[in-house]
Chains A and B, each alone.
Chain A
Amino acid sequence: MAEPATLGAVAAVDAVKERTGGVGYLEGPRGGRPRRFLTTHNVVLYGTLLIVSAYFLLPLWVMLVTSFKTMDEIRMGNIFAPPTEFTVFPWIKAWSQACTGINCDGLSRGFWNSVYILVPSVVVSIAVASVSGYTLANWRFKGSEAIFTILIMGAFIPYQVMIYPISILLGKIGLFGSLWGLVLVHTIFGMPLNVLLFRNYFSSVPEELFKAARVDGAGFWGIFFRIMLPMSLPIFVVSMIIQITGIWNDFLFGVIYTSNERYPMTVQLNNIVNSVQGVKEYNVNMAATLLTGLVPLTVYFASGKLFVRGIAAGAVKG
């Protein structure tokens, strides 16, 4: 390969460059090789993705168009057809007018309660699960595998079964009805799956890294914060997605382990959708579900950047 200096010197006397002012052919074209978009490979790839997307988007379409229709149109019409009489009233009603008993202020009533419950629950549950997963992966002690197996079994217990014993327990330690009681409950039920996630992820980190850090004198927390955390962004994102969705959409724990004023948004959602008597306003129901789902959806969309390849690769190679 010729030295850059030589090339430059040659290019400097390039005849083409002098005549045209453009880049001489001795230096070669710039940029990536231009590719046609419609290769067979791409058609198959994007085609498949689009077909599968249609299956996934179908219910969303139904929900969206229903939420913008009037009740009369819903009773008569085709569920797939777009609204002929477009109305945003269902959304307004779902957000600020739907009745929950005598309080007719819709979902907005519970929104900040949900946030108030969500933030500490997500933070605590992910913190505990990640540290536990790290311990299981790198700092095993006698009996840790048994504990892990117990946790995995815990993932399979239907949570309705645990409601009463946990109520009794929380009552005994005095946390029943308080925010921290609920945070504890969410942490408990988040443990099995998230510990599994973190443990498996940390297990796949090469041992050399860990050994090197220990030789350098780093301890338990040092390694966790300086080595493990920075390279595990994707798995934290996944865990966050699971926890945010689970906790935001949770109804049963939010209604049992809190008090009246702290009922999350899902209680209003349940009241809108599941009323035993009275007219079922399907358009309001759909609008309400979409509104409730907006928070997790925003999180999903915003988590994109953190999935970019190379975060893990960079740290491992170095």
Chain B
Amino acid sequence: MAATEHAPVAAAPGAAPARRPSRLFRNISAKIASIPMVMIALVIFVGCTLWTVLYSFTKSGMLPRLQFVGLDQYDRLWSTAKWWVSIQNLAIYGVLSMILTMVLGFFLATLLDRKVRGEDVFRTIFLYPFALSFIVTGLAWQWILNPEHGIQGVVRSMGWESFAFDPLNNRDIVIYGILIAGIWQGTGLVMCIMLAGLRGIDEDIWKAARVDGIATWKTYTHVIIPMMRPVFVTTLVLVASGIIKLYDLVVAQTGGGPGGASEVPAKYVYDSMFGAQNLGQGFAASAMMLLTVVIILIPWAYLEFGGKKRG
């Protein structure tokens, strides 16, 4: 739906017919309105990223310092066990969180879309975790998963003596304990966005599908989901950006433990920058994270925008 195809209407300067208005002035309101966005994108996001990458080649400690050391910080980064553990954890958490949040969110949205009684109540129940600060939700889940006072303790006291459910003290599965809390926190918003998307779909489509005799679940998979593509892209970005930035929940629930088994990259960055007072190292880690994002996003951007323009 590009407006650039149309002849300039109201935006053209009132010129004599002989002079063609320059392309710069076409849609000038739009261009002026987009100045904040362009400034933010270029000055802040690009600018700060370049600044970060620049200083990742320095030996900055607590304050940024232009003392170049080449690839030293990267060398150290890739030989630190903590960093490897973080990446692994993020991969596991990322894949599972993405799948489970999207599936559960979509599923709940479809349920609520059906003119359910008490929709307000249910929607608030699924969404409220998003309102609470990570600090105490991490603590609450830490307690729920506590072996003596939480679920394991309660189930054992009810008779099942050998019931074991102690993810937070087990190095191998602690990331799943964090996953439980993460999904709890994030599904509500995904559900909300999907619900808004579902609500935007014309009733007539449903009626037509019913008239044609298509089964409900088929309507979802073959008709509705393809129509909701932009919504899915939005939630994908939402969930993915939340995954990469995962920090507060880990700090609150396990503090990175036990023994560093639940470290994540964002925490590595924060700890390096402010705990170890080693900005250079923190920036190197961020640069690696950004590189990964760029590698994934560039092909997507090319697919989305490079080919034929779609509305």
Please list the residues of chain A having a beta carbon within 8 angstroms of any beta carbon in chain B.
45-46, 48-49, 52-53, 55-60, 62-63, 78-80, 128, 131-132, 134-141, 144-145, 147, 149-162, 164-166, 169, 187-188, 191-193, 195-197, 200-201, 203-204, 207, 210, 214, 217-221, 234-235, 237-238, 241-242, 245, 249, 251, 266, 269-270, 273-274, 282, 285-286, 288-290, 292-293, 296-297, 300-301, 304, 307-309, 311-313, 316-317
A285 near B139: Cβ-Cβ < 8 Å: yes
Inside 8 A of B97's CB, which chain A residues have their CB?
A: none
Q: A125 vs B139: C-alpha distance in the bound complex, in angstroms?
A: 31
Q: Is the CB of B154 within 8 A of A80?
A: yes
A247 to B29 alpha-carbon distance, docked (Å): 30
B196 adjacent to chain A (CB < 8 Å)? yes
Are B45 and A157 within 8 A (Cβ)? yes
Tell me the smallest distance from the CB of B309 to a CB of chain A, in Å. Answer: 8
Chain A positions within 8 Å of B265 at CB level: 158
CB neighbours (8 Å) of A45 from chain B are: 111, 114, 116
Q: Which of B106-138 contact A (CB under 8 A)?
A: 108, 111-114, 116, 119-120, 122-133, 135-137
A219 to B104 CA separation, bound complex (whole angstroms): 42
A157-B269 in contact (CB<8A): no
Please report the number of residue pairs spanning A and B whose Cβ atoms sit closer than 8 angstroms: 283
**Residue from A78, A150, A269 whose CB has the most chain B CB atoms within 10 Å:** A150
A216 vs chain B, min Cβ distance (A): 10
Given A145-B301, A158-B247, A300-B124: A238 and B184 interface contact (C-beta under 8 Å): no
Set of chain B residues within 8 Å of A200, measured between Cβ atoms: 230-231, 233-234
Q: Chain B contacts of A80 at CB under 8 A?
A: 154
What is the bound-complex CA distance between A245 and B114, given in angstroms?
Answer: 27
CB distance B144 to A58 under 8 Å? yes
- Picked from B6, B112, B135, the residue with its CB within 8 Å of the CB of A274 is B135
B230 proximity list for chain A (CB < 8 A): 200-201, 203-204
Q: CB-CB < 8 A to B203: which residues of A?
A: 309, 313
Q: Given A150-B42, A300-B131, are A78 and B153 also a contact pair (CB < 8 Å)?
A: yes
A-side contacts of B196, CB under 8 Å? 234-235, 237-238, 307
Which 7 residue pairs of A and B lie closest in terms of their CB atoms, listed nearest first?
A200-B230, A296-B131, A139-B30, A220-B29, A289-B136, A304-B120, A154-B45
- Known A-B contacts A191-B37, A237-B196, A297-B131; the reply to A137 vs B1 at CB < 8 A is yes
Given contacts A132-B34, A155-B241, A300-B128, contact A220 B27 (CB under 8 A): yes
Residue of A nearest to B117 (CB): A46
Specify which chain A residues have a CB less than 8 angstroms from the CB of B49 in the assembled complex.
Answer: 157
Q: Determine the main DSSP class of A at the interface with B.
A: helix
| Interface residue tally for chain B (C-beta within 8 Å) | 106
Is B99's CB within 8 Å of the partner chain A?
no
Q: Are B189 and A242 in contact (CB under 8 A)?
A: yes
Chain A: minimal CB distance from B23 (Å):
9
Least Cβ–Cβ distance between A267 and chain B, in angstroms? 12
Q: A59-B140, A157-B290, A188-B44 are in contact. Are A207 and B37 (CB under 8 A)?
A: no
Whether the pair A285, B136 counts as a contact (CB closer than 8 A) is yes
B282 within 8 A of A: yes
Given A141-B31, A312-B199, verify A166-B41 contact (CB < 8 Å). Answer: no
Main secondary structure of the interface of B (DSSP, over half): helix
Are B136 and A150 in contact (CB-based, < 8 A)? no
Enumerate chain B interface residues (CB-CB to A < 8 A): 1-4, 6, 9-11, 27, 29-31, 33-34, 36-38, 40-49, 51-52, 64, 104, 108, 111-114, 116, 119-120, 122-133, 135-137, 139-141, 143-144, 146, 149-150, 153-154, 184, 188-189, 192-193, 195-196, 199-200, 202-204, 230-231, 233-234, 237-238, 240-241, 244-245, 247, 265-266, 269-270, 273-274, 279, 282-283, 286, 289-290, 293-294, 297, 301, 304-305, 311
In the bound complex, do residue A78 and residue B124 qualify as a contact, i.e. CB atoms below 8 Å apart?
Answer: no
Complex: A89 Cα to B129 Cα, angstroms: 24
Contact of A203 among B44, B104, B311 (CB under 8 A): B311
Identify 30 residue pairs between A and B in the complex whose beta-carbon atoms are under 8 Å apart, listed by A's number: A55-B184, A56-B126, A56-B188, A78-B149, A79-B149, A134-B33, A136-B37, A139-B30, A140-B2, A141-B31, A141-B34, A151-B40, A155-B237, A156-B290, A157-B49, A158-B286, A161-B52, A165-B47, A187-B36, A192-B237, A197-B234, A203-B1, A207-B311, A219-B11, A220-B29, A238-B192, A292-B133, A300-B128, A307-B123, A307-B195
Closest CB in chain A relative to B41 CB, distance in Å:
4
Residue of B nearest to A160 (CB): B270
Q: Say whether B34 contacts A135, CB under 8 Å.
A: yes
Q: Is there contact, CB below 8 Å, between B245 and A156?
A: yes
Which residues of the partner chain A approach B123 to less than 8 Å between Cβ atoms? 300, 304, 307
Find out whether the CB atom of A59 lies under 8 angstroms from the CB atom of B184.
yes
**Contact residues in B for A217 (Cβ distance below 8 Å):** 9-10
Residues of A within 8 A of B42 (CB): 147, 150
User: What residues of chain B lie closer than 8 Å to A316, measured between beta carbons?
Assistant: 202
